[in-house]
Structure formats: C-alpha cells, structure tokens
Structure 1
Amino acid sequence: MNGGETIAGRPPEPGPGGPTGEPVLHKGPILFSLILGAFAAILNQTLLNVAVPKLMADFNVSASTVQWLSTGYLLTNGIVIPMTAFLIGTFTTRQLFLGAMFLFGVGTLLCALAPDFPVMLVGRIVQAAGAGIMMPLMMTVILNLYPPETRGRAMGTIGIAMFFAPAVGPTLSGWIVQNYSWRVLFYIVLPVAVIDLVVASIFLKNVTERTFPKFEFWSFVASTIGLGSLLYGFSEAGNKEWGATEVVASIAVGVVFLILFVVRELTSAHPLLNLRVFRYGGFTIAAVVSCVANMAMFGGSLLTPIYVQDVRGYSALDSGLILLPGAILMGIMSPISGALLDKIGIRPLAIVGLIITVVTTWELGRVNLQTPLGDIMWIYTLRMFGLSFIMMTIMTAGLNHLPRQYNSHGTAAANTVRTIAASLGTSLLITIMTDRSNMHYQQLVTSVQTNNPFLNITLSQFAHALAAMAPMTAQQANALVTYLLYGQAQLLAAVEGIDDSFLVAAGIALVALVLSLFLRNVKRARASAPAPAEGTPPAVMEGTRRKVAVLRRTLRPRPEG
C-alpha cells in the first residue's frame, strides 16, 4: 500500500517536504505545534456541553437559545472548512496557522469575559473560524511532510490530541462546573492557545505551496448558503420533527445551493474547492466509509451520556468518568493503528475495527434500567477500541491516493463531508430516540389504562399500604402511586428509545463494514509504473531525487554483446 501512484499516467509531483518538495529535517517540533493546536480546539468543543444549564441560568435564556452556541459553532465550521484549500494556497503555513490560533484565542477570551449571551455567541463563532482552519491545515501539512508509507503513524500521532481531548473534556468540565464558575472552562483553554502561538511562531515551517488561486465569489456564496442551511436543518431536526416546516425548508434550500455549488466547482477553471478529487476511486470510497462510520460514532457517543445522566440520574462528572477509559484507550491506540496502516494496509484494520464497532454498538442497544454501569463502561471502552482502528486510518488511506497538488483540496473535501455526516448522524439518532421513546411510552400508558384486573388490584393494594404507612388520605396515595407509575413508564420508554437508536447505529456501522470491503491500498510506483523504453531517460522533476532512485531500479538491463 505504501507510496507510489494509484492511477497510471499520473503527472509527476513533488515529493514530501517543503513547498517545492525539499526535505524538512526537523519534523517533530512542527508536529508538536500542530498537536497542541488541535488539542486546544477539540478540548474547547467538549468542555461546553456540561455547562449548558449554568449558562441558561446566568444569561437567563431558554434551552433553544443556548443551543445556538453549538449550532453557531457548527455552521461556522461548515462555512470555513470548504474555504481552507483557497486559504492554504493564498497564505504561508505559518501565516495561516498563527492566524487561526489567534482567532481561536480571541474567541476564547471573548467567551470567558462575555457579559451577556450575544457576546458569548460572537466568541463561539470566532473560535469556530479559527478551529475550522486548523484541522484541514494540519492534515495538509502532514500529507506534505510525510510520504504515503509513513503517513499513518504521523496521522496517528495527531490522533492522540484528537482523542485525548474528548477523554479529558467531559470529566474536567463536570468537576469545574460543580465547584467553580463556567468561565474557568475558557480560562484553562486560553493558556494552551497562547503557548501554541509561541511554539508555532518558533518552530513551524512553511511546508505548503502558495499558488495564489483566484477567489470564486459565487462558489463561496453557494457553499455558505448550501452548507449553512443543510447543517442548520440537520441541527434543528434533532430538536424538532423532521417534518417541521423550518427543517424541511432549510434542508431543501441547502440541497439546491449545494447542487449549484457542485456544478460551479466542476465547471470552473479556478474552483474554490476542487471536487475533482472524487475522481480518484480510492479517495472516494474512503470518504464514503468514513462518513458512514462517523454517523454511527458521533450519534452513538451522544446516546451513552444521555442514558447515564438523564435515565440513570448520575452527574456529568460520573458520566465523564465512565467514558474516560474508552477515550484514553482510543488515544493510546491511535499511533499504533497508524503504524499498522503503514505496515499492513487499510482493509484489515477497517474490517476488524468495524466488526468490533458493530458488535459493541449492538450490545449497547440491549441495556435496561438495571444494567450495571461497570458493564456500560466496558462495552463503551471496547467500542472505542474498535473505532480507534478506523477513525484516522480510513481517511489517511484515502488521502494517500491523491497527488500532492490536490492535498489541500482533499483534506478540505474530506472534512466537509465528515462534518455533514456527523451532523446528520447525530440528528437522525436523536430523532429516532425521541420518536421511539414517545411510541413506547404511549404503548405502556395504553397497557395500564386497559382493563387489567391483576394490575389494578396490585396498584390498589400498594396505595392502601402507602396510605397506612404515611400520613395521607387514600386519594393522595392513589395520586402518588399513579405519579410513580407514569414516571417509571417514562424511564422505561426512554431506555427503549435509546436501545432502538443504538440498534440503528449498529446497522449504520454494518453498512460501513460492507463498504470497507471495497477499500484499497495505494500501489507502489515501481509496481505500477511501466518500464521506460530503452535509451529513453525518465522524466523526473528537479528536486525529486528520491523518485530518480526508484525509477532507476525499474530500468531494463542493457543487453550484453
């Protein structure tokens, strides 16, 4: 799978290294500055969810209003990420990364000092603008620095930050919110951003090529309206019904403008986001599998805290502690999975990882009100172990199929479709959970209200016993028994709704497993490139001495005599 070309006749391209392919000697400090920035951005995303009730109380806003802190962040990411290919071609690596970290730091400071909700929302949008640039830029830098045969390990190292931050976030935020002000959540992220600004200004090198592409204004407009409307529709579908007028209209507008955006990009000489990357079959199938897996992962990961906190009644800190081992294991396994990708290729990793994901997600779909939390923790941890084989590796394997000049467009396209898939998966599974919980509740209520002599006798005996034990009338005892009965029905219905959502997530993961059978590895150049005719010197670009060595080994031996 390592190195080389995937399509015969691909034009020559610079090797891994700097903007013109020259080798970069000290890659470690560059990698560290990228990891630190990714850690700050992802930690920030995972900290805020626990603080939502505190924010509602302090700012005196409703749940639907405070939800805009997440919706605004998501929409800004969706608008910024498709533009990153243009930004990478316009600015140097240092300029773009330092600018993104500066935006993120300013947004974090605004959130920490926000006197009211509008300022808080502006801070979140500024944060999202910086974070949206960082992730595709980070992946592009890795693709430029490392050849395909060692990218897996490098991407896996980046995955440590991407998975360790979610491991720390819920537990840390739960403890802080219980003991301190929610503003501390932003004060602890701010120093990390400042330190990374200093580290990156010292060690980060320019490893991306400035091509100064033309800015496609109408492509930007179509992308902004299309992705913004689509992501907003998916986000609201999780809170309202999919048939709500606002949801349907938003998704319809999004689809129309995204179609216009695709047509514009495929016909433009200077596309804002070059969608021709999807002509590379290896990249396309990897993007599809990654999207389907993301739908199962993000939606499924949201259901477990809902079960632990809302159904079982445990605190956010307890929920974070239950999820902590799985996230830590995922961070530990990330570089190991990357090294395995470099050694054995993507298909075995994807198949094993998705089999584990399907089985464990199915097991989470069988929980009840008596399931020990220890069992939940072990199943969830094993699920994260399976996901560690696929989350970074599949997309890395797909990006390996692209020529260097498409790296920035490939990372932008990959992150865009993954953002859409994660939003769709979350909204879909939350909607299924809500609808199925309501259905199960109505079924339970109907079964209670129908003539059931045994149940009526049991409830009557319980009410009489309660009235005899406590200072209350028989009418009050009956009302209390009815209240407890319906409350228990709500809990049972909620568990069954969560179970149904997990089973759907398992089905989605099963689809990803089937699709993973079509994943393929990058062919080595010396295996795929035809031998040149005798006496014809190979065409090699200046500065690509590594390729010269490979091509020389493929020359036919000169006939003797």
Structure 2
Amino acid sequence: MPETEQMRALDTEKIPLKLIGAIVAVGSLAFIGILTETVMTVLFPSLMREFHVDTATVQWITTIYLLSVAATMPISSFLKRRFPLKAIFLAAVALAVIGSLIMIVAHVFPLLIVARIIQGIGSGIATPLMINIILEQSPRSKIGRLMGVGSLVITVAPAIGPTVGGAVTAILPWRAIFVAVVPLVLIAAFIGMKCIEQKIPTEAAFLDPIQLGSIILALVGLVLALNQGGVAISAAVSGQAAAKSGVIAIVSLIIGLGSLLLFALSSKKAFSPLLRLGILRDPVVLLHVIAYLVLPLVAIGYGYVITNVSQLSLGVSAFVAGSLVLPGALIGVVCAPVGGWLYDRFGAVKPILIPIGIAIAGPVLMLIFSMHLTAAMLCGFYFIFGFFYAVGAANIMTSGLSGVPHEFRPDGNAIFNTCLQFGGAAGTALFSTILAVAQAGAGEEGTSRFAHATAVGGAWTFATMTVICLIGWGCLAAAFRIRATRR
C-alpha cells in the first residue's frame, strides 16, 4: 500500500476529540445519577433514623431510581430515531437538575421518592444515548476501547459514591451532595452542546402507548412483586400480619408477567415497535442479554450489602463503610478500559470468561468467612470481585451486539441497558429483602442479637450472589460455544 494511502487509513482510525467530549458529557449525567444512588445507599442507616422507616422501605430510594432508569431505557431506541441527539441530551440535563433541586428541599420520604424517579428518568435517557454515540460514531478498530471508556465514565460513580456519602455525613448534611450536583450537570451540558454531533438523520418513528405502558407495568410489577414478597416473608418470620403484602406480591407478579407478554405480542405486530425484539431470536444474543440481566444483580447490589453489613453487623461508621467499597470499585474503574483493549486485541471469549470466572471468588470467600468477617476482609474480597468483574463485564454488551445488524443496534443497546438497570433494581430489592428477613424479630438496631442476625443475612446474601454469578458465567460460556459452531 502506498505511503499516502497508509496515512489516510491511519487518519480514519483516529478518535475525534469531539467524540471524546460527547462521551464524557453524556456519560457525566449517568455518572451523577449513579453517584447519587450509591451515596444514598451508604446513608441508609441515617435515612432510616431521619425519616423513621425500616430497611425494606428505605431501599426504595435505590430501587425506585433503578426502576425508573429501567422503565426509561426501552424508549431510547425510539428517542434516537425520532429526535436530535442534542435535544435528547438537554432533556436528560433538565431532569437531572429538577431531581437534584427536589432532593435539596425534600423533608418527607415520599418527596425523596419523587426526586429519585425524576433523576432515574434522566439517567435512563443519558446512559443509552452515550452508548449509541459510541456505537454509531466510533472507528471500528477502537470500539472496544471506547466502550471501555464509556464503562469508566459510569463505573467511577460507584467507586467514589459510598466514600463520598460517608465523608459528607461526617462533615456536612447529606443534601450538600445535591447542591454540588447542579453545577456539575450544567458543566456537562456546556460540553455536550459543543461536542455532540448528529451523524445520522432522524426519522418518523412513532411511540405506541400500549407498548410503553405495558413495558413500564411489567418492570414495576416484577420488582414490586419481589419487594412485597420479601416484606411478606419478613413479616411472617417475625410473627406479624403478612397477608396484605403477600396479596400485593402475587397480584404484582401476575400484572408484571402479563404486561411483559402483552409487550412482546404488541411489539411483534406493531408497524413501528418501541423495541425490535427480533434480535433475541438469536440464542447468542439472548444468552448475552440474560447474563447482562443477572450479573448486575450482584455488581450493583454489592455496594448495598457491604455498606449495610459493615455498619449493622460490624458496627463501623458510615465513612468507614463507604471506604470499604472504594479500592475494589476504583480498580474496577481502571480495568474497564483495559478490558476493552483486551477485547480489541484477543476477541471476546478469554477477556470475558476468564476474569468473570475469577471474580466469583469474591462472593465465595465472603460466604466461607461470613460469620467471622472483618472490615478488612470485606474490603479485600470485594477488591477481588471488583477487579476481575470490571475486566470482563465491560465487554459483554460489545460482544452481544457484535453480530447484530447496524440498524438494529440501538434496539440492542436499549434491551441490554434495560436489563442492566432492571437487574440492579431487582438485586437491591432481593438483597435488602434477604437482610430484612434475617433481621426480622431480632430486636433493635445496635444490639448484639441484631448484629448477629445481619451477619446471618449477609451469609444468605453471599450464597445467593455466588449462584447468580455462576448462572451468568454459564450463559456466556454457552453463547460462545454456539458462536464457535457457526464458524
């Protein structure tokens, strides 16, 4: 190849600075949403005291946020087809600011829930927008690395969130976090308006209210069923009335499953479906999606479990509890782009299966030592999980979408991100339920009996995490096995 042609080829593979700016700007909105979510997680014991709510109730601050994100994700494909990227971005900015302002002035628990719904919708718009920009505008040879950068932008929030939450409660009211969020969002808005570019024209897409309503009902119903089922079990264990919660759980499950079926049927017949689900007919894509649904149960729920077990069982402060998550989460931030580089260099199989397989050692070790854990052990075992999980998980969506036709990738992106956020919401609800069941009838917080019950709940939780990780790893292994037979 002549030298001029080689130089031209190299130029086409350069990453435009505006693309980096767009990724950072849009990713910052997702970053801020996840940051506030993880900050609130470490503040649960304080919020329980301030607003006079129990463990099963306070976790809705996290669950409702993740559920709002998950309910918004399915419309991301429609939004991208119908509206300019900058308009979508500005909508996410406005929602982030409004939600933060409500959090600053909220003095009753229901108002906190409203604010988290608004912030969740904003993050639900921003996260798939960032991934769509990467998939649409990245040079082909750099897509793994840029997906890693996207993961870094998002995963840095869980890394610093618990520590920020603990530090803030030590020196300032927790509302100071949201005072700081507003100018950060405005800075991101300025960068985004300068850097976001429209590469593909919009089209006349339509939003079917039946599809939108059914998917929202499905997601809400399934998470509510899990939550209320846990409340019913917890009440039954402690000898309290459980019939009301049990009925709500059963009805929610029926509504959730029925709505999910309605969504699938209406999408199949619609002229302009909210999500084109046909890509799930490919078992390779479907198995990647299942893994991307179940693994976040552990990844997102881990921060909740560690910070609450360490405070309620080991008796450490909120600041120390938040700091326990920091090393594992920070190393995960660094490793996400490394995982993308390994994907570009070696393909999908080894950079995904090997690190995620090793990451399972984290919850296994926590299970083995569950009744004799120290703060240092919690930190170290989470470090093992965070390091290896970040290397492998950053590539799951990239691998799953690699065989999807370009025109269907926004739909695949929406499906994967919906599963990610729903998995996180379900994980937080599941693990808080397990802890609540273990704590039922164990007396007041601060007693040795309550601390022991929390440790038992931690053991159950770590066992559940191990099983979930094995299921996710098995799905990915099966997907790669099927893909290998096609070559």
TM-score, with normalisation over the residues of structure 1? 0.75
Matching residue within 75, 79, 103 for 1:83: 75
Which residue number in structure 2 is paired with residue 10 of structure 1? Answer: none
Matching residue within 166, 176, 183 for 2:158: 166
Distance 1:109 1:201, change over 3 A: same
Which residue number in structure 2 is paired with residue 248 of structure 1? Answer: 250
Which residue number in structure 2 is paired with residue 12 of structure 1? Answer: none
Give the partner amino acid of 1:515. C
Which residue number in structure 2 is paired with residue 93 of structure 1? Answer: 85
Q: Distance in 2 between matches of 1:427 and 1:124?
A: 16
Q: Distance in 1 between matches of 2:59 and 2:153?
A: 26
Deviation at 1:59, TM superposition (A): 5.6
Higher helix share: 2
Give the partner amino acid of 2:154. M
Which residue number in structure 2 is paired with residue 144 of structure 1? Answer: 136
- Do residues 317 (structure 1) and 319 (structure 2) align? yes
Distance 1:61 1:299, change over 3 A: closer
Contact 2:168–2:174 under 8 Å retained in 1: yes
Which residue number in structure 2 is paired with residue 273 of structure 1? Answer: 275
Contact 1:155–1:335 under 8 Å retained in 2: yes
Q: Deviations over 1:441-472 (max 9, x none)?
A: 8xxxxxxxxxxxxxxxxxxxxxxxxxxxxxxx
Q: Distance in 2 between matches of 1:491 and 1:325?
A: 25
Which residue number in structure 1 is paired with residue 7 of structure 2? Answer: none
Deviation at 1:339, TM superposition (A): 0.6
Which residue number in structure 2 is paired with residue 497 of structure 1? Answer: 457
Deviation at 1:56, TM superposition (A): 5.4
SS at match of 1:324: helix
Which residue number in structure 1 is paired with residue 472 of structure 2? Answer: 512
Which residue number in structure 2 is paired with residue 412 of structure 1? Answer: 414
Deviation at 1:58, TM superposition (A): 5.4
Distance 1:248 1:390, change over 3 A: farther
Q: Distance in 1 between matches of 2:289 and 2:143?
A: 17
Q: Distance in 2 between matches of 1:487 and 1:62?
A: 16
Give the partner amino acid of 2:34. I
Which residue number in structure 1 is paired with residue 145 of structure 2? Answer: 153
Q: Distance in 2 between matches of 1:393 and 1:258?
A: 27
Matching residue within 9, 14, 21 for 1:29: 21
Distance 1:68 1:296, change over 3 A: closer
Deviation at 1:62, TM superposition (A): 6.7
Tell me whether 332-341 or 117-126 shows the greater mean CA deviation.
117-126
Which residue number in structure 2 is paired with residue 7 of structure 1? Answer: none
Distance 1:216 1:395, change over 3 A: same
Tell me whether 131-140 or 427-436 shows the greater mean CA deviation.
427-436
Give the gaps of 5 or more residues in structure 2.
Answer: 1-14, 235-244
Deviation at 1:54, TM superposition (A): 4.8
4+ aligned runs moved over 6 Å, structure 1: 60-64
Map 1:224-263 → 2, pairs under 5 A: 224-241=216-233, 244-263=246-265
Q: Distance in 2 between matches of 1:54 and 1:305?
A: 12
Tell me whether 59-68 or 82-91 shows the greater mean CA deviation.
59-68
Root mean square deviation, CA, Å: 3.0
Q: Distance in 2 between matches of 1:393 and 1:42?
A: 20
- Do residues 107 (structure 1) and 109 (structure 2) align? no
Distance 1:237 1:418, change over 3 A: farther
Which residue number in structure 2 is paired with residue 352 of structure 1? Answer: 354
Distance 1:42 1:188, change over 3 A: same
Distance 1:200 1:521, change over 3 A: farther
Q: Distance in 1 between matches of 2:29 and 2:430?
A: 31
Q: Distance in 2 between matches of 1:192 and 1:183?
A: 15
Q: Deviations over 1:356-414 (max 9, x none)?
A: 12222110102255434223222110111111122221112112222221122111111
Contact 1:163–1:331 under 8 Å retained in 2: yes
Deviation at 1:279, TM superposition (A): 2.5
SS at match of 2:392: coil
The structure number with the bigger radius of gyration is: 1
Contact 1:357–1:506 under 8 Å retained in 2: no
Q: Distance in 1 between matches of 2:52 and 2:460?
A: 35
Q: Distance in 1 between matches of 2:113 and 2:293?
A: 28
How many residues end up aligned between the 2 structures? 461
Q: Distance in 1 between matches of 2:64 and 2:461?
A: 26
Q: Deviations over 1:24-77 (max 9, x none)?
A: 674222222223223222212212233445555656667666554334323322
Q: Distance in 2 between matches of 1:411 and 1:166?
A: 21
Contact 1:346–1:519 under 8 Å retained in 2: no
Contact 1:141–1:207 under 8 Å retained in 2: no
Deviation at 1:435, TM superposition (A): 4.3
Distance 1:209 1:25, change over 3 A: farther
Distance 1:193 1:55, change over 3 A: same
Distance 1:117 1:508, change over 3 A: closer
Matching residue within 266, 272, 287 for 1:285: 287
Deviation at 1:218, TM superposition (A): 1.3
Give the partner amino acid of 1:233. A
Distance 1:138 1:355, change over 3 A: same
Deviation at 1:209, TM superposition (A): 3.8
Contact 1:397–1:521 under 8 Å retained in 2: no
Distance 1:175 1:279, change over 3 A: same
Q: Distance in 1 between matches of 2:457 and 2:53?
A: 28
Deviation at 1:124, TM superposition (A): 2.3
Distance 1:40 1:106, change over 3 A: same
Q: Distance in 2 between matches of 1:44 and 1:438?
A: 28
Contact 1:346–1:393 under 8 Å retained in 2: yes
Which residue number in structure 2 is paired with residue 219 of structure 1? Answer: 211
Distance 1:114 1:494, change over 3 A: closer
Which residue number in structure 2 is paired with residue 458 of structure 1? Answer: none
Q: Distance in 1 between matches of 2:48 and 2:367?
A: 32
Contact 2:27–2:127 under 8 Å retained in 1: no
Give the gaps of 5 or more residues in structure 1.
Answer: 1-22, 442-482, 529-561
Which residue number in structure 2 is paired with residue 125 of structure 1? Answer: 117
Q: Distance in 1 between matches of 2:60 and 2:213?
A: 22
Distance 1:419 1:64, change over 3 A: same
Distance 1:326 1:64, change over 3 A: closer
Which residue number in structure 2 is paired with residue 397 of structure 1? Answer: 399
Give the partner amino acid of 2:347. G
Give the partner amino acid of 1:112. I
Matching residue within 23, 30, 43 for 1:38: 30
Give the partner amino acid of 1:90. R
Tell me whether 307-316 or 215-224 shows the greater mean CA deviation.
215-224
SS at match of 1:401: coil
Give the partner amino acid of 1:393. N
Contact 1:312–1:369 under 8 Å retained in 2: no
Which residue number in structure 1 is paired with residue 333 of structure 2? Answer: 331
Give the partner amino acid of 1:261. F
Contact 1:160–1:331 under 8 Å retained in 2: yes
Q: Deviations over 1:185-230 (max 9, x none)?
A: 1011111101001111111111344122122121112122222222
